[in-house]
Structure 1
Amino acid sequence: MAEESPDEVGRRTYHLEDITVTARGVPAPASLTPGGIGVVKEDDLREQGGSSVVESLARIPGVSRSNDSPWSADVIIRGMTRDSVVVLVDGMRVNMTTDINGRFGLVPAQQIERIEVLKGPISALYGSGSVGGVVNIITKGGSFTDTPQWRGGAGISGTSNPAGGSLSVSLGYSTPSSWVRGSVTSRDHDDYLDGDGDRVENSQYADISGSLAGALKWSDEHQTALSFSATQARDVGIPGTGTAPLPVGAYVTLTRNDSKRMEVRHSFTPSGSLLLESSLRFGYQFIERKPRIDHFPSGPVTRIEPWADHETVSADWRNRFGLGDHLLTVGLEAWNWHMTSGREKKLKNGSFLKDKPTPTTTQHSLGAYMEDDWSFAPKWVLNVGGRVDQVSIDNDETATVQSGSRDDVSWAGHLGLTHAIFESWSLTGLVASSYRTPNILELFKNINLGGGVTEIGNADLEPERSIFLETGAHYAGRTLGADFSLYANFVDDLIVSAPVSPTLCQMDNVSSAEIYGAEAAAQWEFMAGWELFGNAAYARGRDVGAGEPLRFIPPFNALAGLRQTLENGFWWSGETVMVAGQHETPEDVEHSNFHALFNARCGFGFEASGFKHDLGLTINNLLDRQYASYLATSRGVDLMEPGISVVGSWNVSF
């Protein structure tokens, strides 16, 4: 091969390894972090042009998309989803118990700086629900600058499928001792079309989001940051999906899905001390959800309007110490989640019925945690973590549920080992255990499923408990990065709906689950400006109690692509996404077929008149393939995914 010229060498971008904070509470490179992680950056979200952030998350091997709606699909991490995956926004837990999820619609992509994913219970920092993993959405903020500066930007995008677009504006000001930043984003999209050109009814959405954040540096050692954000979503369609057993043909629409989030964080970074940093965070979050269920094909009911308000107050005190060969993180976390709900039914005779299928409930959690990175020998690092939580739940009496309370004391822990065998090679291993406390619905619901069948909660449920194993090999070179991992997750006391009689089902700890898998990813800049990238993931899971495969195990999937970046700021990429058929399914779930998608992207970045411009064009599902995702949460229908979609964007910043 001919030797590269100095210009070609200068054009090399070099492989930059992902650095995460979520996994250990301190910045750490991926190759030296026991357990699987993934990162989605701001550029990734913009270039991939998806209608939700979950589409970008699904490019991480081991992370899949479960289609509730284009506005807010959910994630499946190595076969675990919903309440088995903790979702954070800037480190604050999103508490919301509902069969139709909405966590990933609360923050638009335009306001996100990066997303960090933990694949499995690889960290003891996060308590209940981390048996499947953690997703931390980190929003854009500001920074202190040596001189006063104004910074801002605007972005506009248009999408052909679903037809619609978005508009975002941001403005910030910074000094050596302070900064402030505000932003507004609006999105509006119609129903999407599938690969045959047929409209997928009730898949529209519209929302508007705003944020305001700032920070003050009191001294070299003390600084305080404040933030406020709000989202209002209206008429969000759920196209034929939802885990609630409703009649085929009934529409589910989020007529209102609003959220407000406030946070105050103070950090203390002394010099010349064993204490490297101490931070104290207070947070408040309020989520208001009002679904509407209508278009019933038969029966006396014409419309059902449930509602729920979720209020969470939280605090976290985290401290980092440098103790020779030890980097120690210890802290306390507390949160209080209060949920009120109700339901109204409109009958064909014009009358209304009101009830409370779920009682007003308050959940308290108090936890103490610890993480220690110990460099006990050259090229060897031992990571040990542990957490103990007390979780108490109190509920009010309703017509169908007695008042009561319960207390659980649970623990999580892990032991990880990293060996840097060569300059760029490392081996990792991890043993971990985590738990999931039963949610409010599982404990206290009393819901009429139709057909004379009622499903009730169980106040005596035990927390689910997992044992997790993972080993990996990692290479982090200048132009090549590669990762390979094997994992197993064993979950006991799995909570499922168990039949008690022909007319009654009750939640119970009657099962256990076993999930196994392997993942690989690589990124290689084989010559200046040219990059090959790809990944693959395989998983198998079984419900041991039922003696059948688990429902949300993704089929084998792989991604492969090529990207070129030119000297003039122009870049292009092409890729294929392949998903095998899933034939290991529960008895009442249909098999799925193989499908392959092709996506193409290009962009151009340049500066003019003191502004930086980024133009982008994305074509997803280039061949307009008709396909259905096995992981869609459908109600007895095959929910078709979007056909060809063209996204154009223009972003300006200064």
Structure 2
Amino acid sequence: MRIPLVAAALSLSFGLPLHADTQTVILDPLVVTATRTPEPEDRTLASVSVIDREEIERRQFRSVPDALRGLPGVTISGSGGAGQPASLFLRGTNAGHVLVLIDGVKVGSATLGTAPLQDLPIAQIERIEVVRGPRSSLYGSEAIGGVIQIFTRRGGGALRPRFSVGAGSFDTASVAGGISGGGERGWFDVGANMEQTDGINACDGRAFPFAGCGVDQPDRDGYRNLGVSARAGYEFSDRAKVDFSLLTSDNRTDFDGSIFAGNLSRSEQQVFGVEGTLRPLDPWTLTLSAGRSQDTYRAFYSDAFVPERFVDSFETERDSFGIQNDLALIPEQLFTLGLDYQVDRISGTVDYTDDSRSNTGVYGQYLGSIGANELAASLRYDDYQQFGGQTTGNVAWGYLFDQGIRVSLSYGTAFKAPTFNDLYYPGFGNPDLSPEESASLELGLTGALPLGRWELSLYETDIDDLIAFDSVTYAPANIASARIRGFEASGLLSIREWDFGASLTLLDPENRSNGPNQGNLLPRRPEQMVQLDLDRRFERWSAGLSLYVAGRTFDDLANSERLDGYTLLGLRAEYAFTPAVRIQGRLENALDEDYQTAYLFNQPGRAFYLTLRYEP
């Protein structure tokens, strides 16, 4: 049954006893992002992928975009090498149509409308949950394509230090360390990292005619990242606990630019959150949360003849507060009622007409099961300061057969609020813009294997009132639309010392806007993507490979700039000197493929990295 499993998950995560009629033991991994309540990964009606710390270290991921590439429905478009801007398209929607959370706190730039995934230090990350499909009915704006939630390391248990040091191609060096522990009721983790690389030449731009980055600067564009995380919590009793989290990232990135836009950036991301959980009565769980995120970007210009000169700065400051009530009043039924409040403030060198806005969201959710039928429904109303109210909803039904195969059908609506740039950028913004809106329909099929599991999804998303530049008014307007159809298949299989994973994404991202581009493919979305992973464990050794294949794309709406398809082969190996000391090696792009995911922006060739880890 669905709700005994959810109720058990809530109780296990809170350390509380269950009702006599819901004593179910949870052994499967729990996910919280799909429904804002913990539930087993293989029982949620949403399409979910999870990357945990074990997989991050086993596959030796070097960045968050690196970890997300190859997941079903995920496309990564990078503007150069390490530290350069990376756009993520989830199920073919725009880069601004995915909501990013860190420990429950919404992050990103309110001017650009995206989160700097390339700058988030993966050394400080414990877990990443990716929910595909509309989730505005629980989270509000941006969750058209889905939600990505990143959890920092939590700690707990005996005192455990950790340390790693690495080096590799492009004069790359990295070091990371931390310590975690806790007692009977408390837990903590503190960590820090540094990575530096000379990088590659990010862009082969053309000044005449303008293309790519618009300049020709054939130099190496370096990157430096400093990250710090801290997390601590305490369980005062069986009915009250509190959790604090902090993540900061300080970055320096060289890029190919001009004296007007700069060619060097310094950016910082800071996320702080606190969450308190109470259980006043056995069937009632109350969660209070508050958070602040800051995103700062400063651009400079320098070259051999010009000393470093300040160009521009942009800063987003976001405060949020939430209250959530989970009510298990009836066996096999869970009701959730919640409220979110958010205030965005921007500052910098650009003088916007309006530099702050607020939003209040009220939502409700029902999760239940009747026999073999599983049900989920949610509804949310958002009241934005600029354009008033927005209502979104989601409903899902699933049927679990005796053989462990489940079929599901879901329908959801979502929206994306215009950014400050869309609304108020001097000489460009349009304060009369409406939110972008979407409607999605999905059919899913999942099943368990004796030694693994598989999942199939077929979906269609229609997006209206997309914001695009209007050549008549010379301002952004709600004039574009798109229809995206897709198919996803994924599976995991473990046989003795062998682990095998595979995913397939087929995408038809059609531009449905009126005009000469109608019927064309949306830019930078491959129609076919395949990921294959194979790992083998020995007594002290382990080795693996990953194969990623992407079809051709176009870089523009007119579909005149074609980007060829490409194949990436990655090899990895690890040797354990002791249970606490390991050495790892990773060969990226082993075939030395020459490819681009954005027109005229280069990608690294063959590269090798070596890492020594200590963690008892």
**TM-score, normalised relative to structure 1:** 0.82
Q: Superposed, which structure 2 residues align to 1:567-606 within 5 Å?
A: 568-582=539-553, 586-587=557-558, 589-605=560-576
Structure 1 position 530 matched with structure 2 position 519: no
Q: Superposed, which structure 2 residues align to 1:631-646 within 5 Å?
A: 632=598, 634=599, 638-646=600-608
Higher relative contact order (CA 8 A, sep 6+): 1
Separation in 2, partners of 1:68, 1:420: 44
SS of residue in 2 equivalent to 1:49: coil
Structure 1 position 459 matched with structure 2 position 431: yes
Report deviation, 1:113.
0.5
Aligned pairs, number: 570
Structure 1 position 361 matched with structure 2 position 371: no
- Cα separation, partners in 2 of 1:176 and 1:646, compared to 1, 3 Å: same
Contact 1:383/1:416 (8 A) holds in 2: yes
Task: Please name the residue that 2:337 is paired with.
Answer: 330
Paired letter, 1:43: E
Task: Please name the residue that 2:19 is paired with.
Answer: none
Task: Please name the residue that 1:401 is paired with.
Answer: none
Gaps of 5+ in 1: 1-15, 241-246, 297-301, 344-355, 393-405, 448-455
Separation in 2, partners of 1:390, 1:558: 41
Structure 1 position 231 matched with structure 2 position 242: no
Structure 1 position 90 matched with structure 2 position 70: no
From 572, 582, 585, the counterpart of 1:614: 582
Q: Superposed, which structure 2 residues align to 1:47-446 within 5 Å?
A: 47-69=58-80, 70-71=82-83, 72-99=85-112, 103-122=116-135, 124-143=137-156, 145=157, 149-160=158-169, 162-192=170-200, 201-234=219-252, 236-238=253-255, 252-270=262-280, 273-275=282-284, 277-292=285-300, 305-322=311-328, 323-342=330-349, 356=351, 358-376=352-370, 378-392=371-385, 406-446=386-426
Contact 1:200/1:640 (8 A) holds in 2: no
Contact 2:587/2:609 (8 A) holds in 1: yes
Report deviation, 1:498.
0.9
Contact 1:202/1:239 (8 A) holds in 2: no
Separation in 2, partners of 1:606, 1:371: 50
Report deviation, 1:457.
1.2
Gaps of 5+ in 2: 1-26, 205-215
Paired letter, 1:653: E
Deviations 1:58-92 (A, max 9, x none): 12011011213522523110112332111111110
Report deviation, 1:118.
1.4
Contact 1:420/1:427 (8 A) holds in 2: yes
- Cα separation, partners in 2 of 1:478 and 1:359, compared to 1, 3 Å: farther
Contact 2:301/2:309 (8 A) holds in 1: yes
Contact 1:541/1:553 (8 A) holds in 2: yes
Report deviation, 1:287.
2.1
Q: Superposed, which structure 2 residues align to 1:434-583 within 5 Å?
A: 434-447=414-427, 456-500=428-472, 505-525=474-494, 527-546=495-514, 547=518, 548-566=520-538, 568-582=539-553
Separation in 1, partners of 2:338, 2:421: 30
Contact 2:541/2:575 (8 A) holds in 1: yes
Separation in 1, partners of 2:577, 2:400: 40
Separation in 2, partners of 1:94, 1:314: 10
Contact 1:254/1:289 (8 A) holds in 2: no
Paired letter, 2:162: G
Separation in 2, partners of 1:57, 1:252: 29
SS of residue in 2 equivalent to 1:25: coil
Separation in 2, partners of 1:264, 1:62: 32
Separation in 1, partners of 2:441, 2:490: 19
| Aligned sequence identity (%) | 22
Paired letter, 1:481: R
Contact 1:250/1:295 (8 A) holds in 2: no
- Cα separation, partners in 2 of 1:65 and 1:360, compared to 1, 3 Å: same
SS of residue in 1 equivalent to 2:37: coil
Separation in 1, partners of 2:30, 2:71: 15
